Structure 1
Amino acid sequence: MNPYLISIKSRLKTLWQNKWVRGLLILFVVAVLFLIGLYISIYLGVFGKLPTSEAISSIKQEQATQLLDKDEKLIGKYYIYDRQPVTFEDLPKHLIEALVATEDSRFYEHDGIDNISLMRVFVKNLILQDKSAGGGSTITLQLAKNLYGRKNYAMFSMLINKFKESIVAKRIESVYSKDEILILYLNTVPFSDNTYGIESASLKFFNKSVKDISIVEAATLVGTLKANTYFNPRVHGTRSRDRRNVVLSQMVNYGYLAKDSLAYYSDQELQLDYRSFNHDLGIAPYFRAAVKKQLSSILDTLKTPEGEKYDLYKDGLIIHTTLDYKMQQIAEDAMKDHMSKLQANFETSYGKHSPWETNSKLLKSAIAKLAQVKTYKENGLTETQIKDSLNVKRPTDVFSWKGDTIKNLSTIDSLKHYLKFLNTGMLSVEPTTGAVRTYVGGIDYRYFKYDHISQSERQVGSTFKPFVYTAAIDNDLSPCTYFSLNKVTYTDYDDWTPTNSGSDDEDPYINYTLENALSNSVNTISVKVLEEVGIPKVLEQVEKMGISKALPNEPSLALGVAEISLKDLTGAYASYLNKGKSVTPYYITKIEDKYGNVIATFEPEISEKEAYSEFTRQVLLEMMKSTVNKGTASRIRSTYGLKNDIAGKTGTTQDNKDGWFVGLTPNLVTITWVGNDNHSIGFKSTGMGQGANSALPIFAKFYQKLNNDSDFRPITSAQFETPSEQVLTALDCEPTKRDGFIKRLFKKKNKKKSFN
């Protein structure tokens, strides 16, 4: 026998006789056998069934439902996981290069498990203790984890999960091409801010589709994959920038970027254009909530090809809506601009004697309505205990027009804080279809969830008067009929005496035409016109205009005591621009499944019959033009300098609780409302609370901004049609007429009578 072999055999025998060496070898063999046995048991499904190649080939991922505006611009999403898939063709080359260079440089060379990288990690990390060796994971292994997650086992949890992922990774590689694996990975990987998929991340952080992101933006997003919270570019800008530069360096190391370009890209500042698709944040949150509510009932009527119900949060539906994204932005800006200033003036007007601070009866009533108080009572707490609980202070997020803050407030403190805020509703629709173009349901959805367009019904004040005049004209009352300004006391209605704003200075012997009375919103004449035409005919007229709810059958109807939703009011006013036909404001045009197949379409809801004659329509439109040109809404011209063709109507309710403005232009109907959600709190004065001051400026600022944008020229430059000769003749009369001497001699300044 070869002496050399004899020597080796002798040495091995000596080693085996050493109990420590023998023990280590036995331990090694046992460990290997254990790992082999564990791997086989995992493969056989002892620790849970593994996805088969067939299952992997038909991967179905949960997808967010997208909400698009009329031009298919993304408004928002409904989701559990914010995921929005794209195709491989949408991925820019530099994004793929950044990903491969950073996460898996040998991606195109391995079959799911990179044995060379694993060996490098074993030697450098475990033996040489070099922490820069990396983790040895591949994109395919990460994909396996993203797709199927990890489970927690009592023992060897990490090892079991790693083995499972390696088996799944091998199967993924056998089913999909490298390009397909990359798109699957990028569509499922979690980015910062609970965002899943590269398209959603690109839209959220840079407000652009992934196909349009730059090298620096791609490197920023890829950089977050190492630790998406730690490297969140929104929260940790410097950290994210440093990590981005590591990605850029890797791209240079692997030849994807020229060396001399590294300094150029690395020196660029981190530029975000962040858009949150959080349900409470982002553009048009009230609109998104309203659409979601409608979708709940719509989807109950639809079935997938497999006969199952669609899931709004998981099935990747595409909802096409009527909203105009850009116009909505302008509407929200106009609202914030006005409401922030109005709120400051509102609080100043009350000073130290504000009702939300000093009115104990109001506060007691508001406290009693708190859900928290009802819960305390159900749990058997005494009044003293409830009071003590409500006075416990804690850090609280607080809304403010100057910027949100955190204050140490009790429940009572918080209630007082929010009681003071004025709120608003603003709706713009296309008059011929009812398509909603803007939808501002309140000042801030995060803190004020109540929707003042669809949920709220408030007294409409003088915005109801055009309906009274419409009924009168349509029942053959001449527009040049004169009515006296003087007050009348109606004895059969508790001696009710309607008065006009500033009535102490008015001449009771002056008579107004219908046009002059409406444009100046004269209360006394509106009631007289209602009396002339009759309440039943006015109620019938309003119903023809699409307002079907029961309204008060009393003379004060003429002054707008009826509570009507802003949405219904807008649909009724659209009839003045739509040949006398009212519309139902609508949001959704069609719904597609995630493959782009149309599964539902929706048509405008337009009244089949005209609510009144064309003559009446033109007369009322002329009257409401006068309201803007020389009546209660004239500040549209004098203060805001708007030269557009506009008709309109202001509205103010009793005790200045509600301010309204209706703005009509040929191609758009816009109604704004302003008030406090607590009906007990009104404006301190009519000067501040009147619709011309509280609600009209939102419309005016809205149109100022529209006028500055050429995209809206079809709306801002549109002109009303020329009235017919019949209409012009019917309106051709002096706006006022004073009683003659004999009539003045016998005329009572405050007549008493019963209402006919």
Structure 2
Amino acid sequence: MKKVNTNENKTDNKKYLKLFWKLFAGGISSVVLFFLLINWGVFGSMPTFDELENPLSSVATEIISADGKTIGKFYLENRVPVKYSDLPQHLVDALIATEDERFRSHSGIDGRGTLRAISGLGTSGGASTITQQLAKNLFHGSSGSKNIVLRGIQKFKEWIIAVKLERQYTKDEILAYYLNTVDFVSNAYGIRSASNIYFNKEPKDLTVEESAVLVGMLQAPSKFNPRFNPERSQARRNIVLHQMERNGYLTEAEKLKYQAMPIVIDYSPDTHTEGVGTYFREYLRDYMRKWVKENPKKDGSTYDIYRDGLRIYTTLDSRMQNYAEEAVQEHLSNLQKEFFKQQKGNNNAPFIQLSKSESEKIIERAMRNSERWKQMTNEGKSEEDIIKSFGVKTKMEVFTWKGAKDTLMTPRDSIIYYKHFLQTGMMSMDPLNGDIKAWVGGIDYKYFQYDHVAQGARQVGSTFKPFVYATAIEQLGMSPCDSIYDSQFTMPKGRYGISKDWSPKNSGGKYYGLVNLKYALAQSLNTVTAKLMDRVGPKAVIDLTRELGVKADIPASPAISLGAVEITVSDMVAAYSTFANHGVYVKPRFVNKITDKNGVVLFESQPETKDVMSKDIAYAIVKLLTGVTEGGSGGRLRYTGSGGAGYHVMTGYPYGFTNPIAGKTGTTQNNSDGWFIGMVPNLATGVWVGNEDRAAHFKSTAYGQGATMALPIWAIYMRKCYNDKTLHVSKEDFERPANLSVNVDCWKRTATVVDSLGGVAPGSAKKDSLAAPKQSVVEEFDF
């Protein structure tokens, strides 16, 4: 029997023991070294301490109304962060119960969950904590790789970042950070956007079952989307509610109650072409692009309006903006029916008084300006092929007042179809401080992206006449009570540089003899305005309009007195506001202040003002303009009809305003442009209506005048504003200056009579400043 050498056995045991400890120490060292290498960024960059403190994520710029509502955003990712204090407790409970039951007890890595995942090879559920998911969302996203090594490295990186995040932030901050980083699809990045888009409310207002829907989406946002997959979403929501009950956040009775509820969403898409104030937001975007270039950060870099989370506090009032958009919809959807009706049988529709060749030029020009033409040109297509493509029917979505409609139509026919639509420009502002309260640049930004408030200048018709009257009152010392002969009038060739005799006519060729200025403006008498222009000259009128903020290129021609000049809605409203603001022009403003994402004020605006005329002259013009709504072309504001909300455009005017209103209608040649500008002491609003092309218009003045096309929008809007008692829109009279030097009370003393050549003759006072001479008839149509 061989004898065992115990010394050799001991030696071997020591050798194996040393080898074990070397391997063990080497393994531990390797793991430590591996984690250190990951932490040092050898296997890919890792966030620095500063980056952990200020994680980079794309934060949307918020557009905030004067009444504190978010009316839009500029974004690459529609994300606006919320604080933990803005989250309802049941949302937090649902998140923890469903995604990370031990969130409050672990330090970033859930050891029990990790062991369960490893032992079950991933079949028993994932092991990612909320902190790990936050680490992935903030710093490196998903690798998308099928390589198990790369995926393993990514998981280790998540662990390291998660532990660092747990050291850096409180549990509550991590929860808020996580919910702010999640993509809920449908342009909803973060819990606030998701809450607004799917339920049209702020996160703090979410109900228990709504919170469960959003938490349920976290597993697979598209799969469990309540809009597109309501059944799956409801099933997933009920699992979340079960998890809440399982973790003690709900009783069984509460769980069963919420599980029985249907999912009710209020889908409110938040895109650049939809929502409130789309035309205003696009104008603001252009302003902000210029602003960031002129106002760099302290380090010299430029703010990014799509990523830096700026907050733009605007002057727009969300309530008034909604009322303005509703007024446009209510009136123009009705008026458009009449336009389509009148175009039946017109082989050249929608154009009037144009030859076929002339209308073809308009259509061809629209084709060449289209995106289709530009795209096909960039693709190298020939002009012949491009033109041919406009005649091929294709599936498309088109605008209707009853909602978008899918149809089969040639691109050429779609151009003609859209040229039928009446467009509008509408702006409302406070004349005292210049704050713009509402801005409607068209009927639907998604389909018609031309802004008719600031971009589009159109002929203003008789709305220009108050500028002529103001010049006459200021320079000639006249008053609204002074009388003038309304009669045929000819300005001879050569006067003010005109090339031929000019003989303007009143509506229907009617003349009214001796009238005072208030009556003349109320009835929009062309000959009286021409005579006033003859006395003061075009240059004086142009100089005044410049002082009133009108930037348009105005020709020095007497014809401008009748509105043969193109001006924007915004400039017209600001100019009229000067009369309501005691002769002080205030530049319209739309931004109150701009802050960064931390609330630091970067810009704060102040009203820009300029004295233009005396209080007395401004008040005299206001009194002239109130005459228009008391018995002139704006008189239908006072009517009460039986039409109700669905009134017909010609048979019922259910307005019945009794408060003082200063305003003026305007209608251009061939009824191409209809205007109404109306004011009360603290609100001035201008409305223009017409087709994109001036050759498309109503056949008759009955429908094509400003009193029919534009005035009803103003009236519907104002009625809505007055019904909202929180707005405090004035019903008071305009403030009368103390010691008024201009005679506006035409029944108190004798006025003077001024002939067309400037001679003065005695005249008798009128008892009623709006009483028409015996031979006249109140003419409602305004030219």
Tell me, yes or no, whether TM beats 0.5.
yes
Q: Distance in 1 between matches of 2:132 and 2:718?
A: 55
Q: 1:379 to 1:220 in 2, by over 3 A?
A: closer
Deviating more after overlay: 34-43 vs 618-627: 34-43
2:430 aligns with 430
Partner of 1:65: 61
For 2:507, the equivalent position in structure 1 comes to 501
Distance 1:57 1:697 in 2: 56
Q: Residue 689 of structure 2: which of 674, 699, 709 is its match?
A: 674
The two structures, once aligned, show a CA RMSD in angstroms of 2.7
- Any idea what SS the aligned residue of 2:294 has? coil
Q: 2:135 aligns with which of 129, 141, 144?
A: 144
- CA distance 1:270–1:573, shift in 2 (3 Å): same
Do the aligned residues in 1 keep the contact of 2:241 with 2:255 (CA within 8 Å)? yes
1:52 and 1:572, CA in 2 relative to 1: closer, same or farther beyond 3 A? closer
Q: Deviations over 1:253-280 (max 9, x none)?
A: 1111011111222222323333333111
**1:99 to 2:90 alignment:** no
Q: Distance in 2 between matches of 1:630 and 1:421?
A: 31
**Partner residue in 2 for 1:521:** 524
Aligned match of 1:78: 74
Residues 1:544 and 1:261: Cα distance change in structure 2 (over 3 Å): same
- Evaluate the alpha carbon distance shift between residue 93 and residue 519 of structure 1 in structure 2; reply closer, same or farther with a 3 A threshold: same
Match of 1:717 among 731, 734, 739: 731
Give the share of equivalent positions with the same residue, in percent: 40
Structure 1, residues 714-750: CA drift from partner, whole Å, max 9, x if none? 21433323574853445653344579xxxxxxxxxxx
Residues 131-170 of structure 1 aligned to structure 2 (within 5 Å): 133-148=124-139, 149-152=141-144, 155-156=147-148, 157-170=150-163
**What is aligned with 1:49?**
45
CA contact (8 A) 2:363 2:416 kept: no
Partner amino acid, structure 2, of 1:110: H
**What is aligned with 2:472?**
472
Assess if the C-alpha contact under 8 Å between 1:347 and 1:354 holds in 2: no
2:656 matches 1:660: no
**Secondary structure at the counterpart of residue 392 of structure 2:** coil
Residue in structure 2 matched with residue 631 of structure 1 by the alignment? 632
Q: CA deviation at 1:364?
A: 3.2
Aligned residue identity for 1:717: K
Q: Does structure 1 residue 510 correspond to structure 2 residue 513? A: yes
Provide the C-alpha distance between the structure 1 equivalents of 2:361 and 2:64, rounded to a whole number of angstroms.
44
For these two proteins, the number of residue pairs brought into alignment is 699
Alignment match, 1:750: none
Q: SS where residue 711 of structure 1 aligns?
A: coil
Counting only pairs closer than 5 Å after superposition, residues 400-549 of structure 1 correspond to structure 2 as 400-475=400-475, 476-492=477-493, 493-503=499-509, 506=510, 508=511, 510-549=513-552
SS at match of 1:220: helix
Residue of structure 2 equivalent to 1:575: 578
SS in 1 for 2:584: coil
Q: Helix, strand or coil for the counterpart of 1:693?
A: helix
The aligned amino acid for 1:184 is Y
SS in 2 for 1:649: strand
- Aligned partner of 1:619 in structure 2 is 620
Partner of 1:727: 743
Secondary structure of 2:458's partner? strand
SS of alignment partner, residue 507 of structure 2? coil
What is the aligned partner in structure 2 of residue 744 from structure 1?
Answer: none
Separation in 2, partners of 1:297, 1:461: 34
2:479 and 2:743 in contact (8 A); partners too: no
| 2:619/2:736 contact within 8 Å kept | no
Query: In the alignment, what sits opposite 1:266?
Result: 259
State the shift of 1:201 in Å: 1.9
Partner of 2:279: 286
3-state DSSP class of the match of 1:250? helix
3-state SS of 1:675 partner: strand
> Does residue 219 of structure 1 match 2:212?
yes
Question: Could you tell me which amino acid in structure 2 is paired with residue 715 of structure 1?
Answer: V
AA aligned opposite 2:713: I
1:34-59 CA distance string (max 9 Å, x none): 99998786555443122245542442
Say if 1:193 and 1:232, in contact at 8 Å, map to a contact too. no
The superposition leaves residues 325-354 of structure 1 with CA deviations (integer Å, 9 ceiling, x where unpaired) of 111111111111111111111111111316
Q: Which shifted more, 618-627 or 557-566?
A: 618-627
Q: What is the alpha-carbon distance in structure 2 between the residues aligned to residue 83 and residue 617 of structure 1?
A: 48
Retained in 1: the 8 A contact 2:427–2:439?
yes
**Unmatched 5+ residue regions in structure 1?**
1-30, 740-756
Instruction: Sort the Cα spacing of 1:584 and 1:366 in 2 relative to 1 into closer, same or farther, 3 A.
Output: farther
Q: Does the CA contact (< 8 Å) of 2:552 and 2:566 recur in 1? A: no
Q: What is the identity, as a one-letter code, of the residue corresponding to 1:351? A: K
Q: Deviations over 1:205-239 (max 9, x none)?
A: 33333223221221121111111122222333333
1:368 counterpart (357, 365, 371): 365
Amino acid at match of 2:421: F
Q: Which has the higher helix share?
A: 1
1: CA distance between counterparts of 2:375 and 2:239? 54
In the aligned structure 2, how far is the partner of 1:251 from the partner of 1:510? Answer: 85
The 2-side partners of 1:520 and 1:630 are apart by: 8
Checking the alignment, whether the CA contact within 8 Å between 2:680 and 2:734 is kept in structure 1 is yes
Aligned partners of 1:322 and 1:589 also within 8 Å = yes
